[in-house]
Amino acid sequence: MLLGQANSALGATERPGSRFGAWAMSQAAPFMMRQADGRVLVWTWKAEPELIVAMATAQLLTPDVRIARASMPMDYDDTVSFPNRLGVGEKLVVPVPESPSAPPFATYTWDTGTHLVTVTAVCSDRERFGTVIGALDELARSIRIADDLTGGESPDVLRLPPA
């Protein structure tokens, strides 16, 4: 599902052998997750797993990452401020992408000074995307770096350790 949505978001058509590619990626996913060492977390909507998928990443802010971030296309410059415990980040919601086959998505980004923390969510249903934005905002507000928690805080807060 994710590979198909990513292809449609980029405007790519399914090519011969892409099913094999999807299978190969599914086999490599456990290895890649071990290599990520906790810097990537993925969620699905519990009641309807195929409706929405969200992924959080923590990436070390190198000069190359800063250049790539500054070079993003202007199409995605419609961000709004989004505060949480990591600071004030950016929220980008694209409910109706230009390509009719592309799924709607939302991205939340925070620059902590040493890391770039990003939450990206992709929805499979354009009509229902607006109904899950509130839950996505709540999820994005719950993201924290493990070092900013003290011992007595709530155990249901997700912890993203720095790289």
pLDDT digits (tens, 9 = 90+) for 35-72: 665 567 778 878 888 888 888 888 888 899 888 888 87
In a domain, 5, yes or no: no
Q: Are 45 and 51 in contact (CB under 8 A)?
A: yes
- 77 belongs to a structural domain: yes
* φ and ψ of 69, to 5 deg: -65, -40
User: Nearest Cα to 122, choosing from 110, 107, 137, 138?
Assistant: 107
Average pLDDT, the chain: 77
77 has pLDDT over 70: no
Q: Which range (30-34, 66-70, 94-98, 142-146) has the least confidence?
A: 30-34
What is the model's pLDDT at position 134?
92
Asked whether residue 7 is assigned to any structural domain, the reply reads no
User: Which residue is it, tokens 């998505």?
Assistant: 105
Taking the C-alpha atoms of residue 7 and residue 102, their distance in angstroms, rounded to an integer, is 8
How many domains does the structure of the chain reveal?
A: 1
* CA 105/CA 9 separation, integer angstroms: 9
Give the C-alpha separation, 136 to 116, whole Å. Answer: 19
Chain centre to alpha carbon of residue 28? 19
- What residues pair up with 133 in beta bridges, in sequence order? none
Residue 45 lies in a domain: yes
CA within 13 Å, CB half, 73: 2
The CATH number for 82's domain is 3.40.1000
Task: Give the pLDDT of residue 106.
Answer: 92
Report CA-CA distances (Å) from 64 to 5, 60, 95, 144: 27, 10, 29, 24
Residue ranges making up the domain that contains 114? 38-160
Residue 6 in any domain: the answer is no
pTM of the model: 0.69
| Residue 107 CB neighbour total at 10 angstroms | 18
Asked whether residue 106 is domain-assigned, the answer is: yes
